Chains A and B, each alone.
Chain A
């Protein structure tokens, strides 16, 4: 019998035992890691924004992020909550960057400041902080700014590659601007129209006017799709380059950060709905591919609608949510007063998320189809 312990064997004393409930191991992910990965996925879109709109866009992004973090720190100080513990999770920075990507490139910095407070204070903290907000904070800020400062929020800067000599220049620029550009004025000091804006104005011009029809044809011509896809069009900092956004989307899916159902079904619904309208009434709306590569649809579908806190937790719920967003976006784009409907549709569906989750709760294991 070996009751003697040989000297090399070190036995535990149990002094440092920790008592906790199972499970005793955990995945290495944390909220902070998730936020950093989202920031990483946004990098392609940021690079595209700076490429197409210049260095000022980078300043706008940094300023908005800084203001958002500052707004959250200020709230925590006033509400006597731990400041470092709250801003360390990175969610304010992500909100800031998403908000910046939703702003036009030429916004004055005070707009970033107002937007930051709208997003963090009104969009998140009044509801109780992270996890408690029903609405996407960046979209709350964007819509708030759009309604309060419509002129600033609808002034677009031309993207790199657009100039006064192209065939479609008359679509984007007023004759005065074309002249100014030809005289040598730099791109980032003039304003232009966006593709959806052009479609929107053609609605307003009298029906059957030759000019309206011709503009409509030009803006939705198949040759235009590639430039739109790459980013050579006016718009918000982040929404122009669909290619960069899709790369970001792939990164998000690789990290399993988003549910694939939301972006796929959202974009799919818009494509199908717009496609049907376009098939039966060709003059009313451009073809579905146009809808996908213009406006904020891909930005909204990949980064805004998939925000964890404000999207459903059930798989079926995600599909319902995405279909709803898609329908409302298309309705606003085709028949609504605003040229773009993504922000409004996502906010609207955010409000319905608790109801959607309640009705789309999965059947638990062991219950037959006749639910109790």
Chain B
């Protein structure tokens, strides 16, 4: 019995002594940090996505406290969170320019020709190194899902071999843009609803050989809504710097012959094979 008591007492004593030592050293080697930085970190959403350009939320908090960056630079924070931070620090909230990412390609497995079957690592960079990938079009989305895996917010869904970004989940952090080896994903203003879902600069006959929904550069969209569209060679694209941006009415007025000019909603529904939408567009 004695032994038991002694053993317990010794363990407790050792634990206590070590605890005191650790406490002393914690005080001694304490790193002074600005309490405001911790406050800002608490108020931030804490996704550590790097969308602000800094190396994580605490890095961003330090930049905000030191005045180098405005709180609105965090693309993930809602406007309430941004004003909360601004209020807490007594500074200006700053301009909020919200961006979202969009995959400018409509070539899923049904619409484009896959010239060969692919045997290799299911990753977009790796696949693009093998003869430009199995798809007939060497400018479009490869469909291996690297962007979907990298997205910290789970906003990208792979449907039928095509990456689709769900607008409501995307915060514009830009991770997917960096990953894509084809540069098919672009950051556009958050309000943009209409896009030309084609990334290929080739001539129309070459494009049509491999893809049913490629943009053939017929310019009908530019005619229906001048100033809102740019024509680059054989491809039309939305002029995102122009206000106002194209709307659903512009899409109807343009009557795009191939179906590469769509609203984001239409694009999503077509890919999901919603019968109400597919029948109209095909």
Contacts and interface: CB of A to CB of B under 8 A. Distances in A.
Contacts of B119: 18-20
A209 interface: no
Contacts of B115: 14, 17, 19
Interface in A7-62: 14, 17-21
Interface in B99-124: 115-120
Q: Sort chain B's interface into a size bin.
A: 10 to 19
A14 B130 CA distance: 17
Interface in A314-340: none
Nearest to A22: B130
A18 B130 CA distance: 11
A228 B134 CA distance: 64
Contacts of A21: 120, 126, 129-130
B131 interface: yes
Interface in B121-160: 126, 129-131, 133-134
Nearest to A17: B116
Nearest to B130: A21
B122 to A, nearest CB: 12
Nearest to A20: B119
A17 B116 CA distance: 5
Nearest to B131: A19
B129 A18 contact: no
A19 B117 CA distance: 6
Contacts of A20: 118-120, 130
Nearest to B115: A17
B129 A19 contact: no
B113 to A, nearest CB: 11
A363 B223 CA distance: 65
Contacts of A17: 115-117
Contacts of B129: 21
Nearest to B120: A20
Most buried by B among A17, A19, A21: A19
Contacts of A18: 116-119
A20 B134 CA distance: 9
A359 to B, nearest CB: 31
Interface centre among A14, A17, A18, A20 (most CB of B within 10 A): A20
A21 B134 CA distance: 12
A15 to B, nearest CB: 9
Contacts of B116: 14, 17-19
Nearest to B117: A18
A285 to B, nearest CB: 40
A368 B7 CA distance: 59
A21 B125 CA distance: 13
A18 B119 CA distance: 7
A22 to B, nearest CB: 9
Contacts of B134: 19
A14 B115 CA distance: 8
A152 B57 CA distance: 59
Nearest to B119: A20
A20 B130 CA distance: 6
B55 to A, nearest CB: 27
Contacts of B130: 19-21
A61 B152 CA distance: 51
A189 to B, nearest CB: 44
Nearest to B118: A19
Contacts of B117: 17-19
Contacts of A14: 115-116
B130 to A, nearest CB: 5
B126 to A, nearest CB: 8
Interface in B17-76: none
Interface string B256-274: 0000000000000000000
A348 B151 CA distance: 43
A20 B118 CA distance: 6
8 contacts: A14-B115, A14-B116, A18-B116, A18-B118, A19-B115, A19-B130, A19-B131, A19-B134
Given A18-B117, A18-B118, A21-B129, 8 more contacts: A14-B115, A17-B115, A18-B116, A18-B119, A19-B115, A19-B117, A20-B120, A21-B120
Can you list the 6 inter-chain pairs with the closest CB atoms, starting with the nearest? A20-B119, A19-B116, A17-B116, A21-B130, A20-B120, A19-B118
